Amino acid sequence: MLTINQIQVNKEDLLRKLQIKNFKKIELVEEILTLDKQRREIQQKTDQLQSEMNLLSKEIGSLFQSGKKEEANLAKEKTANLKEEVKKWGSVHSEIEEKLTTLLVQIPNLPHKSVPAGHSAEDNEITETVSELPELSETSVPHWDLGKKYDIIDFELGTKITGAGFPVYKGKGAKLQRALINFFLDENEKAGYKEILPPLLVNEDSGFGTGQLPDKEGQMYHVQIDNLYLIPTAEVPVTNIYRDVLLSEDDFPIKNTAYTPCFRREAGSYGKDVRGLNRVHQFDKVEIVQIQNPSTSYQALEEMVAHVKSIIEKLELPFRILKLCGGDLSFTSALTYDFEVFAAAQKRWLEVSSVSNFESYQAVRLKLRYKDKASGKNQYAHTLNGSSLALPRIVAALLENNQTEEGIKIPEVLWPYTGFKVIN
RNA sequence: GGAGAGGUGGGAGAGUGGCUUAAUCCACCAGUUUGCUAAACUGACGUACUCGUUUAGGGUACCGGGGGUUCGAAUCCCCCCCUCUCCGCCA
């Protein structure tokens, strides 16, 4: 979330940026500022009342100790009224603070100055794309047919065991998953990321820290009996490693990578867009997460983009990179690059990675700070993350684009991981 | 799941109702000494909010979390969470 200070410091600029983000409830800004003013006034009052109370208590204490019981009891009577006041204003104060937080978490992150205006995916800026799209022969089929043909992905079986959107990978299909995961992790490690194997269930605090809660509650699977959530992405547990942490400037940069299954309810989505592996409830993903000094976070973002690009290139997949417009940017992100690969049989672009700088938006929720050497003050760190990569759509594109009469050709870079060069 | 013990500042650890504005030690930081390092000595050393034009300096809260008793709570009471030990169950 934003800090009060970020909201106060330049209201015009704030409103302009919120507009780029297509944020409608701008009246919240005024509410927050008014409420904050009240909070301060009331805090002054409660602080003063408590100060008086403390002084009185001290006096009573020393009166008792010097044996002046009469006077002490007299002084006690004076405290009743004050005590009442302290209690009353104290509860008003905490009510206001609570209200303030519920309003603050409704304000999205502010977009970076380079974010293009726009309302939907149509308005995203293509920063890089292939010169020509691959064309397949007329006999080519989409990946769900290929999955069936070679008996490597079984959607019906998943439906039987669990429900729609839980594919079962079999044989070379399963092994391809394992190969991709290891390949991605190795690439990330080479780029300086430390491998983490985190829990797949997280508590409420963690969900709040990275911004999934309270708003996107319906997107996560909730284990009610223990009040835990299945992670929608490794971003949640890996970033929450740094919740309530005070870093030293020397700790930067922090670069972690993690493979996890991801669970998403994807409530409300249906249709041919979600067919096959295009959108599923459980999928595998390797994530990269960075905790950065604010002064270098955008440089880090560019590095992450270059890194993800290099991996896709090694897989020899046609891709494009989009800089998301204000309207398509997620609630918590300041700047996001999406990677899409072209699935040639479906003739569709599929999103396989989303690389974002959240600036201090998550850090404020996480209470993730570092001690700034120059000023000696504690500052909020910047958090970034990206997929490198999400498996299902990569698999979809690999299967579709590489299909031949002899079978599906595996990119050379994966051979050491798969142990086979073709699926037939 | 059952029984017991415990949770105090970056770490160790004292503190069972008011000289606690949390002792002491270690670590970190600055300085003195030193040919350099080490050692020794001296000093500073938490977080958040708030008042103050910036500063200087005040105030309030914080001893796992939440509530309560009391003029006053790290300390007493209740609920919850977590850790450790033993038992049970278990890959």
CA of residue A213 to C1' of nucleotide B44, angstroms = 42
Q: Is the pLDDT assigned to residue A344 strictly greater than 80?
A: yes
Q: What is the tens place of the pLDDT at every residue in A79-129?
A: 888 888 888 888 888 888 889 989 999 999 999 999 999 998 999 999 999
Q: Report pLDDT for A79.
A: 82
CA of residue A226 to C1' of nucleotide B86, angstroms = 26
The tokens describing A50, both together, are: 């408590």
Report residue A184's pLDDT band, with 50, 70 and 90 as the boundaries. very high
Q: Which range among A68-82, A200-214, A320-334 shows the weakest confidence by mean pLDDT?
A: A68-82
CA of residue A84 to C1' of nucleotide B63, angstroms = 26
Cβ contact A40 with chain B strand, < 7 A: yes
Residues listed for chain A: 424
Q: What are phi and psi of A239, to 5 degrees?
A: -70, -35
pLDDT, mean of residues A10-38: 92
Q: Which domains are present in chain A?
A: 4-104 (1.10.287), 121-423 (3.30.930.10)
In angstroms, the CA A196 to CA A366 distance is 19
Residue A55 burial (C-beta neighbours within 10 Å; 0-12, 13-18, 19+): exposed
Nearest nucleotide (C1') to alpha carbon of A64:
B18
Which stretch, A31-40, A67-76, A266-275, has highest mean pLDDT? A31-40
The amino acid that residue A194 corresponds to is: K
Report in angstroms the alpha-carbon separations of A74 from A60, A77, A409: 9, 5, 92
The tokens describing A22, both together, are: 């297509």
Pairing of strands A245-248, A368-371: parallel
For chain A, helix (H) and strand (E) counts, in that order, are: 13, 19
Q: What are phi and psi of A292, to 5 degrees?
A: -130, 155
CA of residue A87 to C1' of nucleotide B71, angstroms = 14
The tokens describing A92, both together, are: 């008003």
Q: Is the pLDDT assigned to residue A241 strictly greater than 80?
A: yes
DSSP state of A217: G
Q: Is the pLDDT assigned to residue A373 strictly greater than 80?
A: no
**Token match 């839980």: residue?**
A166
Question: Are A381 and A292 spatial neighbours (Cβ–Cβ below 8 Å)?
Answer: yes
Nearest nucleotide (C1') to alpha carbon of A41:
B50
The tokens describing A41, both together, are: 């006034």
Alpha helices in A21-107 (DSSP H): 27-65, 69-104
| Protein residue with the closest CA to the C1' atom of nucleotide B72 | A57
Cβ contact A56 with chain B strand, < 7 A: yes
In angstroms, the CA A198 to CA A283 distance is 16
Report residue A266's pLDDT band, with 50, 70 and 90 as the boundaries. confident
pLDDT, mean of residues A273-281: 88
Cβ contact A248 with chain B strand, < 7 A: no
Following CA atoms A255, A261, A262, A268 in sequence, which dihedral angle do they give, to the nearest 10 degrees? 160
Q: Report pLDDT for A270.
A: 66
DSSP state of A5: H
Q: Which range among A127-131, A258-262, A322-326, A397-401 shows the weakest confidence by mean pLDDT?
A: A127-131
Q: Cα Rg for chain A, rounded, in angstroms?
A: 27
Cβ contact A65 with chain B strand, < 7 A: yes
Q: Which of A133, A128, A110 lies closest to A323 in space, CA to CA?
A: A128
Q: Is the pLDDT assigned to residue A57 strictly greater than 70?
A: yes
CB burial string A25-43: b at 16+ within 10 A, e below? eeebbeebeebbeebeebe
Report in angstroms the alpha-carbon separations of A131 from A134, A150, A221, A318, A398: 10, 31, 41, 9, 19
Q: Report pLDDT for A56.
A: 86
The SS3 of residue A230 is strand
The tokens describing A403, both together, are: 């299909």
Report residue A268's pLDDT band, with 50, 70 and 90 as the boundaries. low
Residues 89-148 of A with CB under 7 A from strand B: none
Q: Is the pLDDT assigned to residue A60 strictly greater than 80?
A: yes
Q: What is the tens place of the pLDDT at every residue in A147-161?
A: 999 999 999 999 999
Cβ contact A34 with chain B strand, < 7 A: no
* Cα A349-A260-A195 angle, rounded to 5 deg: 110
In angstroms, the CA A260 to CA A32 distance is 38
Tell me which nucleotides of strand B come within 7 A of a protein CB: 18, 47-51, 58-61, 71-72
pLDDT, mean of residues A2-29: 91
What is the separation of C-alpha A10 from the centre of its chain, rounded to a whole number of angstroms? 26
Cβ contact A73 with chain B strand, < 7 A: no
Q: Is the pLDDT assigned to residue A369 strictly greater than 90?
A: no
Pairing of strands A222-223, A228-230: antiparallel
Q: What is the tens place of the pLDDT at every residue in A118-139?
A: 998 999 999 999 888 988 888 8
In sequence order, the 6+-apart residues with CB closer than 8 A to the CB of A300 are A253, A290, A292, A357, A384
pLDDT, mean of residues A380-397: 95
In angstroms, the CA A113 to CA A175 distance is 43
* Cα A244-A4-A334 angle, rounded to 5 deg: 75
In sequence order, the 6+-apart residues with CB closer than 8 A to the CB of A397 are A143, A317, A341, A342, A343, A344, A350, A352
